[in-house]
Chains A and B, each alone.
Chain A
Amino acid sequence: MELYLFYVFAALALVSALVIIFTKNVLYAAFALVLTLLCIAAVYVYAMAPFIAVIQIIVYIGGVLVLMIFGMMLTNRLSNKSLLTEHHYIPQGLVLTTALFVLIYKALSGVNFSGLSWMKEGFAPAEDNIQQIGVYLMSDYILPFEVAAVLLLSALIGALVLSQRKERYP
């Protein structure tokens, strides 16, 4: 049952990612990306990472996607026409990505995952590892945590400075 639900979410993620490729309307692409990211959050739940799944929904769908739709509004003259995008370099892109996928698939089919010793021991973390994440964030990973805070602050200030209307930087 679990496996079939995983297949459903994985297929939905792939199909909506393909919609981004085939659609020309940028807004439809954004909504297809919402669906893809939601399905990836479901996949995280099946990988026993419920906290990451919640963070994915909050940050990506609540933050990044809203930001993208705002960017779409700001880079479009107000008119009745919808924002469309064209395609280019289609043959090169198809060849490159298909070759990359075949390469990864070949490499993957040569690996015997169940034969690896650390995988055979198969330590699966507890279903509920949110407490563990909190303890790690406040002890072993305190430096990256603080650096991430500074990074977010500088990205905020940078975005504000960059999007100023005044022609201060010619």
Chain B
Amino acid sequence: MIPIEHFVLLSAALLCIGLLIVIIKKNAIVVLMGIELILNASNINLVAFARYDPSIQGQLFTLFVIIVAAAEAAVALAIVVRVYSYFKSSDLDRIKELKG
């Protein structure tokens, strides 16, 4: 059995990398990739702690997180395509029509 600390550390590192991607990248699609990484980091924690649970609730919850992530990616990419056709750019710094 692999100790639980390794899973938690891996998930913490992936969370931080995903957050860094969300903060520093300008392209909307890469920001979405960062969000996927953050969701995966949370899934690793859920699955790792489900090992100690007879009624594997963590794994079932992970299943639903994956479903919601897929729905989120579909809608978010549709919005990005729409925004691109309006602003002719997917650069988040140039999409500032509502900015005061």
Contact = CB atoms under 8 A, between A and B. Distances in A.
Partners in one complex: yes
Given A3-B2, A122-B52, A52 B59 contact: yes
Given A49-B62, A125-B50, A30 B33 contact: yes
A6 B10 CA distance: 11
A56 B66 contact: yes
Interface residues of B, number: 71
Contact of B59 (A63, A67, A133): A133
Contact of B71 (A108, A155, A160): A155
A137 B64 CA distance: 11
Contacts of A119: 4, 52
B71 A151 contact: yes
Interface string A19-35: 01100001001100100
What secondary structure prevails in chain B residues at the interface with A? helix
A97 B78 CA distance: 29
Contacts of B84: 74-75
Interface string B34-75: 101100100110011011111110011011101111111111
B86 to A, nearest CB: 10
A119 B63 CA distance: 23
Interface of A is mostly: helix
Contact of B3 (A40, A71, A94, A113): A113
A129 B53 CA distance: 12
Contacts of B10: 10, 13-14, 43
A136 B4 contact: no
A40 B30 CA distance: 19
Contact of B74 (A113, A125, A156): A156
Contacts of A30: 33
Nearest to A161: B78
A151 B71 CA distance: 7
Interface centre among A14, A141, A155 (most CB of B within 10 A): A155
